[in-house]
């Protein structure tokens, strides 16, 4: 790692030391300043920064940072969703009070464009968003601007997410009829997952690699063959803020494209499709794949086709009926 990169990692670690000493992660001037510094340090594209090759100490800092950023993001969303739902008129007319609203507009457009490019004109009728939170901006942006006849089912493990998000959309004549919220751990949702053409998985569902892979395996077991799984990942220094999803984490899926933004959209986007299961229960295609050397723009994964046998178990887990 060059000395400039070493300096970048040192700056991130120094910011972690300050952030980890904060008494609260609730939005405040101190919290906002530190997180703005952290995000602006991590955003400039730098493919030579590979967090997976750093020391155990830096890896531990990264894991803690992802957790802290996740908590701060949740509190920020909760804070602004509470303000928005206090408006007398339609809260969806005031989304721009959220500091990262423009980022969600750009991310939503990027995800819609990738879907359009890879779905060959098919318009999804039923979309699931997993980890929608108290301010489900991805679903709202997609439903309002891009998928104007699509039904959205939002899943979140946190009860306050459903209560705030439902209130947020309740006064919008269109969105309130097409958007539903469920308080459930996605690991407890099984049969219902088959009804979705597209499933989005929020970056912060599964913060550790093994947690993320467990969720992906669960989705692979219950999604409909041919359905699309949209994931959020991170690249370069941005991987200090969010987990990385690699094609090899997506067993049973064909990775169609990975897009690494180079502007202020922080998340990379991974679009994949659940592989068909042939009659003998074997999967067509295989888990491992080769990525062309990353040029930090748009990468198509090259799938190596290998036969792969997969046992499917029926989960008797509790499941909330979709409305």
Ligand X SMILES: C[S@@+](CC[C@H](N)C(=O)[O-])C[C@H]1O[C@@H](n2cnc3c(N)ncnc32)[C@H](O)[C@@H]1O
Site string for ligand X, 37-76 (x = CB under 6 A): ------------------------------------xx--
**Residue among 74 and 285 whose Cβ is closer to ligand X:** 74
CA distance 36 to 42: 10
Q: Does 133 bind ligand X (CB under 6 A)?
A: yes
- Give the interface size with ligand X as a residue count (CB under 6 A): 22
CA distance 271 to 198: 10
CA distance 230 to 118: 11
| Residues 127, 129, 132, 136, CA torsion sign | negative
Q: Does 201 bind ligand X (CB under 6 A)?
A: no
- Give me the least distance between CB of 71 and ligand X, in Å please: 9
Q: For residue 216, which of 268, 275, 285 has the smallest C-alpha distance? A: 275
Stated as kind and residue range, the H or E segment containing 298 is strand 298-299
Q: Does 156 bind ligand X (CB under 6 A)?
A: yes
Q: Does 205 bind ligand X (CB under 6 A)?
A: yes
Residue of 27, 79, 146, 158 that binds ligand X (CB under 6 A): 158
CA distance 86 to 88: 6
CA distance 260 to 250: 18
Q: For residue 221, which of 249, 193, 181, 200 has the smallest C-alpha distance? A: 193
Q: Does 216 bind ligand X (CB under 6 A)?
A: no
- Give me the least distance between CB of 305 and ligand X, in Å please: 32
Site string for ligand X, 161-200 (x = CB under 6 A): x-----------------------xxx-------------
Residues that bind ligand X (CB under 6 A): 73-74, 77, 130-133, 135-138, 155-158, 161, 185-187, 202, 204-205
């Amino acid at each position: 790692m060059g000395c400039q990169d070493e300096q970048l990692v040192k700056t991130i670690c120094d910011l972690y030391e300050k952030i980890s000493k904060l008494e609260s992660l609730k939005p405040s001037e101190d919290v906002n300043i530190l997180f703005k510094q952290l995000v602006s340090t991590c955003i400039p594209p730098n493919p030579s920064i590979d967090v997976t090759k750093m020391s155990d100490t830096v890896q531990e800092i990264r894991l803690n940072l992802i957790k802290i950023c996740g908590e701060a993001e949740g509190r920020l969303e909760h804070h602004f969703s509470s303000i928005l739902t206090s408006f007398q008129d339609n809260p969806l007319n005031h989304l721009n009070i959220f500091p990262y609203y423009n980022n969600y507009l750009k991310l939503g457009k990027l995800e819609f464009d990738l879907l359009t490019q890879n779905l060959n004109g098919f318009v999804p009728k039923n979309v699931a968003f997993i980890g929608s939170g108290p301010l489900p901006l991805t679903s709202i942006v997609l439903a309002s601007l891009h998928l104007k006849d699509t039904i959205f089912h939002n899943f979140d493990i946190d009860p306050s997410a459903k209560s705030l998000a439902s209130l947020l959309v309740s006064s919008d004549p269109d969105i309130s009829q097409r958007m539903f919220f469920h308080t459930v751990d996605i690991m407890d949702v099984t049969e219902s997952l088959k009804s979705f053409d597209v499933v989005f998985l929020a970056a912060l569902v599964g913060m550790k690699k093994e947690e993320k892979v467990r969720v992906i395996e669960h989705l692979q077991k219950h999604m409909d063959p041919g359905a699309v799984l949209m994931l959020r990942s991170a690249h370069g220094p941005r991987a200090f803020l969010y987990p990385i999803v690699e094609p090899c984490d997506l067993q049973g899926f064909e990775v169609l494209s990975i897009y690494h933004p180079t502007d202020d959209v922080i998340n990379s986007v991974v679009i994949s499709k659940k592989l068909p299961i042939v009659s003998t229960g074997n999967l067509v295609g295989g888990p491992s794949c080769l990525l062309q050397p990353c040029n930090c723009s748009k990468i198509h994964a090259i799938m190596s086709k290998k036969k792969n046998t997969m046992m499917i178990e029926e989960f008797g887990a509790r499941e909330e009926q979709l409305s």
